[in-house]
Structure 1
Amino acid sequence: NRTTDLNPREMALALAKEIRAEQDDQDHDLAGYGASAISDLMAAAFKDPIVAPKMLRISFTVGGGKKVRQKYGDDMPKYCRDALRAIGFEEDRGACAVMECAGMYKYQHNTDTDLKAIHVFPRIDTAAAAAQAAAGEEEEDDEIKIGGMKLDELPPAHLCTIVSIETFGRLVAAQCPSFSQKRALLKAMKEMSAQFASFEERMTNMQALTPEEDELYNSAQNLPEKLSDLEKQLEGMIGGGHLTRAEMDNMIRDFSEKVLQVEEAITKAMEAGKPVTKMEAARKQLEEKIDHLKTAKPVVHRRKNDREILTLRKQLKELEKIESSKGMLPLEEIKKLNQKPVIIARLAELEEEGKGWFDDAIPEKDRVIQAPPAEKKAAASAGGG
C-alpha cells in the first residue's frame, strides 16, 4: 500500500509538502518522530521560502507533562532546534507572526495545556504569491462563462444541456453510473427544460431575458433528445436488472404510490362517465413493473477502490484502539499513530474519487461498502497440484 506503509523519511516529506501547500497558521504533532525524520521535515518544509501572501506560524508539539510524555522523546526540542539551525534559522523568544521574524523560531511550554511546542516563522516569498494571484485573476477573466458561471462551476444539468449529444452520453456514463444518479439527473434536466419553457413564454410576451438567461438559452443543444435518451436508459436499467436492492425498494414504493393515484383517477372518471381505458392500461403497466422488480435479482456496485477503502477503515479503527488505551505506549505503537493523518487523507481522497454527480441521491444502504468477495485462487492451486 503506497500510503499506509510510509517509512519515517517518507512521512516527514509528506508532512513537509502539506505544510508548504497551506496558506494559514498550522499545528502539527511530532509524536514518534526521531532525529533523522525531524531533520528531513525541517529541511523539506523550511529550507526554501514558502509562497504565501503573509507571515505564517507553524507550530509543532514536541513534548508535554506526565500524561503525554511517553509519546515524545526528551530530546525532541533539541532535535528541532538543531534541524532549524542547520538551515539558517535563529531562535528568538520574542518571535511572532510578522514579516520581520522570517527565519526565526521559538520554544514555548504552555502551562495551561501542559504541552511543549516549537513555533516556526518561515521565510515567505510574498512576491511570488502576488504574481500567482495576478495570474489567476487574468485566467479567470479569460475563462468562458455560460449563464454567468465558469464551465467548471456549472451544475450537472446546465452542463448536460449545453454539451453535444455525444459528450452528454460520455458524461452520463462517467458521472452517473447508478440508477439513482441517472434518475436525479433526469429530474434536474426536466427542471431545466421547464425553465427554458418559461424563457420562451416570456419572449413570446415580449419580455426580455437577462444576459445570463439569454446566454444559457442560446447555448442549449438537443435538450428533448437528451431527456428521451436518459428516460430510455432508466427504463433499460429497470428491465435489465441493473438496480440495487435499495433502488428496487424505492421504485416499488414509487410505482405503488402511482398505482393508487391512477386508481383514484379511474374512480373519478367512472363516476363522471368518462372513458378509463388508457388509465387502466397505465395501471396494468405499473403493476407489471412492480411484479418484475419484486422478482428481479439486485446488483451490487463495486468500485475499484473499495478494497483499499475497507483496509484503511480497518487500520483507522486499530489506531483508535491504540489512542484510547491507557498507560504508557511502546515506541512502535506511537510510530503507528503518526500514520493516522496520512491514512485519513488517503481515505478522503479515495472516497472523493468514487463520487460522481448527485452522490446524495444514492440510497444510504448503497453507501456502505461491503467487503468484496475473496479473489479466487488459480485453478492449479485449487487442484492441489
Structure 2
Amino acid sequence: MAAFDAGEGGTGLSKHIRALGISETYDLAGFGEAQTKDLVRDAFTQPIQATEPLRFTFLIGGGKTQNRQKYDSDLGRYLSAALREIGFREDRAATALMECQGSYKSQHDTHKGIRTVQVFPKIDLVEEKGENGAGQGRSLITNPSSPEYMAAVCTFDTFQEMVQEKVCSWNQKRRLLRHLGSFVARYKEAEQKLMKMEGLSDEEQEIYDSIDPDGVEEKTVWLTSLVKAMVENGQLTAAEREQVLSQIQTKLENCSVEQEAATLKENEVKLARIHKQAEQLMKRRSMVNGHAPVSHKVKHQDELRGITAKLIKIEKLENTRGRLLTIDEVKQVGLKEELLERATVLENDSRGWFEEDEELEARLAEVRKQGQRMAAKKAAGGGKGGKSGGGASAGRGRGGGGMAMDSDGWNKVKR
C-alpha cells in the first residue's frame, strides 16, 4: 500500500497513479476536501493508459482509535462527490472490467474496521511491451482456470451447477453477468474485424476460438432471470437490500426532477409516463421492504464455529490469574497458533466466486458470533457437553482437498 504526504495535496499522488498505470492501494490519511478534489480531478478526469482494466483502492478510515483520528470523518463524502463531479457513477457490484470503467464503490470491513473506496477509472488500452520492447497482445484470458473463463466456455448444465455451488448472492451473480457480457462483446469485436478482412491479435483470436456467443447468451438469459427472482423473492442480504433501496430512491428522485420539468412544459404524455414509472418504483420499494434480509451459508461454518469457541476458551486460560494452568490447559493454549492458521485456511476456502472481501467478512462475522454463543453456552454449563468436533486436528483432513477438473473445465472442490 502506498502512502503520500497530504501536505503535497493530490498532485503528487495523481501523477504517481497515472504514471504507474497498474492497480494499487493508497492511504489517504490527512487528506482534506480540497486535496481530495484535486486528486480525483488530476488522476481520473482523463483516461489512464493501461494494459488491462484497473482498480484503485483508497483507504479512508482506519480500524484502531489512533488510526481513525488520521482521517477526516467526511473523507468518503469528499471522494464520492469529487468522482460524481467528473462523471463517475456509484456501482456496488463494480469490478475490474471494461464495462465498469468510470465507476466507484464504498466498502467497510467491519471485522478490521477499515473503510475504503474502490475506483475503476476510464482507461486507454495499450499493448504490453515485451523484453525487446515490442508490443505483445494483451491477453484477456490470462488463466483458463479462472471462474469467469470456465463459466463462459462450459456447457449450460455445468454452468447451472457452478452458479448453484459458487455464485450464491445477488451481487455475485450480477458480477458474473458482466464477465459474460465482456466475453461476448470481445467476440463481436473480433467477428467484425474478420468481416472486414482484418487480422486478429492473439487475444482476439483466443476469444474468437473459445467463445460460443449463443451459448453465453443462453447462460445470460437464465442468470438474469435468477437475479430478478432474487429481488422479488426476498433473497437479498442486508447490504444488497440497502443497495437496491438506494437505487430505487435515486430513480424516484430523478422522476421528481423530470416531473417538474414536464409540468412546466405541460407535456401530458411525458407526465403520464413519469407517473407510471414512479408508481412501479414505489411498488418495488414496498416489495423489497416487505422481505427480511437473508444470509448465505459459509462453507466450513461448523468447523469455524468450533474453532471460535476454542479460541475464546484459550483466551480465558491465557488471562487466568491466581493459579497455575493444568497440563491439559497448557496443551490447549499451545494449540492457539494452529487453530488460527486453520481458521484462515477455512475462511479463504469459503469465499465464493466474485465475492468481495466485505461480503465474505459479513458472512464470517455471523459465524464468529455463533461460535461466541457456543462458547458462552458451554461456559454456563460448566464445560460439559462433550468434545467439540470442530477442532484443528479433527478438521485437518477436511477442506484441504485438491481440485478436480472435469471435461467441461469445472474445478470442483472436494468435500
When normalised by structure 2's length, the TM-score is: 0.47
The residue aligned with 1:46 is none
Q: For residues 262 and 219 of structure 1, do their structure 2 counterparts lie closer, same or farther at Cα, with a shift above 3 Å needed?
A: farther
1:164 partnered with 2:146: no
Cα shift at 1:205: 5.2
SS of residue in 1 equivalent to 2:370: coil
Matched, 1:338 2:334: yes
User: Residue 289 of structure 1 aligns to which amino acid in structure 2?
Assistant: R
Partner residue, 2:167: 176
Quick one: distance in 2 between partners of 1:232 and 1:286?
Answer: 19
Q: Counterpart of 1:308 in 2: which secondary structure?
A: helix
RMSD: 3.4
Q: Which residues of 2 match residues 8-157 of structure 1 at below 5 A?
A: 149-152=142-145, 154=146, 156-157=147-148
Note if 1:356 corresponds to 2:352.
yes
Deviation of residue 358 (structure 1)? 1.6
Q: Is the 8 A contact 1:246 1:366 kept in 2?
A: no
**Unaligned ranges ≥5, structure 1:** 1-145, 375-385
Contact residue 181 and residue 362 of structure 1 kept, 8 A? no
Aligned pairs, how many? Answer: 227
C-alpha separation in 1, matches of 2:347 and 2:362: 16
Task: Answer yes or no: is 1:254 the counterpart of 2:247.
Answer: yes
Letter in 2 for 1:334: V
User: Is residue 306 from structure 1 mapped to residue 315 from structure 2 by the alignment?
Assistant: no
Q: Give the match for residue 237 of structure 2.
A: 244
Distance in 1 (alpha carbons) for counterparts of 2:269 and 2:360: 39
Q: In structure 2, what is the equivalent of residue 224 of structure 1?
A: 217
Partner Cα separation in structure 2 for residue 202 and residue 311 of structure 1: 57
What is the deviation of 1:294? Answer: 0.8
1:32 is matched with: none
Counterpart of 2:292 in structure 1 is: 297
TM-score normalised by structure 1 residue count: 0.50
Q: Is the 8 A contact 1:248 1:298 kept in 2?
A: yes
Distance 2:360 2:245 in 1: 14
* Residue 215 of structure 1: aligned partner: 206
Q: Percent identity?
A: 23
Match of residue 343, structure 2, among 329, 347, 355: 347
1:219-272 Cα shifts (integer Å, max 9, x gaps): 223222222211110111111122223321221112222333344455556667
CA gap 1:355/1:264 in 2 versus in 1, 3 angstroms: same
Letter paired with 1:237: M
**Which residue identity lines up with residue 168 of structure 1 in the other structure?**
F
Matched AA of 1:175: K
In structure 2, the CA distance between the partners of 1:233 and 1:318, relative to structure 1 (3 Å rule), is same
Amino acid of the residue matched to residue 359 of structure 1?
E
Rounded to whole Å, the distance in 1 between the matches of 2:196 and 2:316 is 68
Distance change >3 Å, CA 162–CA 258, structure 1 → 2: farther
Cα deviation, residue 332, structure 1:
3.3
Against the structure 1 CA distance between its residues 250 and 157, is the aligned structure 2 distance closer, same or farther, given a 3 Å change threshold? same
Please, which runs of 5 or more residues in structure 2 have no aligned partner? 1-138, 375-415
Q: Deviations over 1:106-155 (max 9, x none)?
A: xxxxxxxxxxxxxxxxxxxxxxxxxxxxxxxxxxxxxxxx9654432x2x
Cα distance change, pair 235–274 in 1 and its aligned pair in 2 (3 A): same
Pick closer, same or farther for the CA change 1:228–1:261 going to 2, 3 Å: farther
Shift of the 226–271 alpha-carbon distance from structure 1 to 2, 3 Å rule, reads: farther
Of structures 1 and 2, the one scoring higher in RCO (CA 8 A, sep 6+) is 1
1:359 is paired with a residue whose SS is coil
Given the superposition, is the C-alpha separation of residues 206 and 290 from structure 1 closer, same or farther in structure 2, using an over 3 Å criterion? farther
Q: Give the corresponding residue for 2:5.
A: none
Instruction: Name the CA distance, whole Å, in 1 between partners of 2:268 and 2:200.
Output: 42
The verdict on how the C-alpha distance between 1:366 and 1:271 changes in structure 2, with shifts beyond 3 A counting, is farther
Please identify the structure whose Cα radius of gyration is greater. Answer: 1
